[in-house]
């Protein structure tokens, strides 16, 4: 059986990343579906094994070619950058630098074709900034490292997939930035991702910006007609089943009911809220438009419980599963 090599970055060492990684790698289903390779800090992973009681052995390797991928063992490319006394649950520039370096190495491996997908544990934006890396989050960091001009954030939860036209900017700025070309490119990225995942003809719902999608000009200043309708007209002319603009207060319910395969949200909170209500523990973040496959947990570093062994690893399991779904198959040799 061919299993993709999934590079799993450890995330912020002061957060729950190390714990959810080792818990996930103790699950036999992960081994059956993938060949997991952690990019992180071996000593921190060993501490996470102690905290979680998973009983895994941590084995350092130089690269994917040296990994054994054996049950009961965590293969890790050890960047050895986290001090043994780094406390859990505290903001740290050292942990922020480590999180950056883990991502940087994983991207290099993916671009070189040595791993098939990247799955990321959570980083902390403040820690990343404290280390001198001024990115709003993983999405923008990955775009920079791969030289990608434009990517989209897709969030998934049980029965719901949402892709965002804009993400980490203020609401006023988001409305200003939305324009037909950006809407069209976002829908096309989402459509291509679903087709690759096996949905032959995705049904895509496109949200409006204003309440009730403007209700024929009653709300707003004609944003739907100016910014969204032209994109939908071009998409439908190309045979893409994109419908809208639709009222955001009902479209997510309709998607969960099964009417749509994907919802296109215009701004951060319009899309994030419904996804997190549907499944915060099992949510997954997918960066769409990169030259490499990347999935991530849809939760933060959870400093309040880091180091306690209480972190839920369901989102990491689902993120690995979706990385496997999206990754190309390869021969094991």
pLDDT digits (tens, 9 = 90+) for 122-167: 999 999 999 999 988 888 899 999 999 999 999 988 889 999 999 9
pLDDT, position 211: 95
* Residue 247, strand partner residues: none
Residue 269, CA distances (Å) to 84, 122, 155, 213, 245 in order: 38, 19, 12, 16, 17
Whether the CB-CB separation of 124 and 15 falls below 8 Å is answered with yes
Q: What's the pLDDT score for residue 281? A: 65
Residue-level pLDDT at 330? 55
Domains annotated on the chain, with CATH: 1-148+290-333 (3.40.718.10), 152-286 (3.40.718.10)
- Angle in degrees, 0-180, between the axes of helices 268-279 and 248-257, rounded to the nearest 10: 40
Q: What is the mean pLDDT of residues 308-324?
A: 93
Measure Cα distances from 82 to 9, 38, 58, 139 in Å.
14, 15, 16, 23
Residue 80 CA neighbour count, 13 Å, CB half: 3
- SS3 of 300-333: the string is CCCCCCCCCCCCCCHHHHHHHHHHHHHCCCCCCC
* Confidence grade of residue 196 (pLDDT, cut at 50, 70, 90): confident
pLDDT band per the 50, 70, 90 thresholds, residue 168: confident
Ramachandran area for residue 22 (φ above 0: left; ψ -120 to 50: alpha; else beta): alpha
329: confidence class by pLDDT, cuts 50, 70, 90: low
Rounded to whole angstroms, how far apart are CA atoms 14 and 90?
6
Q: What is the pTM of this model?
A: 0.85
The reported pLDDT for the residue numbered 332 is 55
pLDDT at 283: 78
275-306 pLDDT, tens digit each:
988 876 677 889 999 999 999 998 899 999 99
Question: pLDDT of 28-78, one tens digit each?
Answer: 999 999 999 999 999 999 999 999 999 999 999 999 999 999 999 999 999
Assigned token pair, 235: 């998409």
């Amino acid at each position: 059986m061919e299993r993709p090599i999934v590079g799993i970055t450890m995330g912020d060492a002061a957060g729950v990343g190390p714990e959810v990684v080792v818990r996930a790698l103790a699950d036999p289903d992960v081994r059956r579906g993938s060949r997991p390779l952690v990019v992180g800090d071996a000593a921190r992973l060993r501490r996470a094994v102690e905290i979680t009681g998973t009983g895994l052995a941590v084995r350092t390797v130089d690269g994917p070619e040296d990994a054994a991928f054996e049950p009961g063992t965590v293969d890790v490319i050890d960047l050895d950058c986290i001090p043994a006394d780094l406390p859990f649950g505290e903001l740290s520039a050292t942990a922020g630098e480590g999180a950056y370096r883990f991502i940087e190495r994983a991207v290099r491996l993916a671009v070189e074709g040595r791993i098939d997908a990247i799955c990321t544990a959570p980083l902390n934006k403040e820690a990343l900034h404290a280390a001198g890396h001024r990115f709003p989050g993983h999405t923008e960091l990955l775009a920079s490292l791969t030289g990608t001009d434009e990517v989209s954030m897709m969030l998934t939860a049980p029965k719901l997939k949402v892709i965002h036209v804009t993400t980490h900017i203020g609401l006023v700025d988001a409305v200003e930035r939305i324009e037909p070309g950006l809407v069209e490119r976002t829908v096309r990225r989402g459509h291509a991702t679903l087709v690759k995942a096996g949905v032959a003809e995705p049904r895509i719902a496109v949200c409006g910006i204003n309440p009730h999608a403007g209700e024929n000009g009653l709300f707003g200043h004609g944003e739907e007609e100016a910014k969204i309708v032209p994109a939908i007209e071009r998409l439908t002319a190309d045979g893409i089943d994109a419908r809208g603009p639709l009222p955001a207060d009902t479209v997510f319910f309709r998607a969960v009911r099964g009417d749509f395969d994907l919802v296109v949200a215009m701004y951060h909170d319009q899309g994030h809220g419904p996804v997190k209500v549907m499944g915060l523990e099992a949510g997954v973040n997918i960066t769409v438009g990169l030259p490499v496959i990347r999935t991530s947990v849809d939760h933060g570093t959870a400093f309040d419980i880091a180091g306690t062994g209480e972190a839920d690893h369901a989102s990491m399991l689902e993120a690995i599963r979706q990385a496997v779904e999206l990754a190309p198959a390869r021969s094991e040799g």
